[in-house]
Amino acid sequence: MKHLPPERAWALIAAFVVAYDLACHRGQTLSEEADRWTKAHPVLARAGILAVALHVANVVPDRLDPLHRIAEMLPKTECAAKSENYCATT
């Protein structure tokens, strides 16, 4: 699997959100869906949003970060030298 640099991954995420919101039907933006989740499940939706925000901002220590803990359970990858731009699953 080719290694995707994190700055490119963030750019792709941002581009996807913008493209989706521009292309979706009226009332179907990602923010509007989050509003529906929050209305239906206020505590769960806000907790999920908060968990992602705190994780991305590196505010929570790894040992207390639920997303980090989940990521620790996933198979790890070991990246080769940057010049090779390659990651292999271990």
For residue range 11-64, list pLDDT tens digits in order: 999 999 999 999 999 999 999 999 999 999 999 999 999 999 999 999 999 999
Name the residue among 77, 81, 57 with its Cα closest to residue 67.
Answer: 57
pLDDT digits (tens, 9 = 90+) for 57-71: 999 999 999 999 998
pTM of the model: 0.69
Domain positions in the chain are 6-89
Rounded Cα distance, 2 and 29, in Å = 31
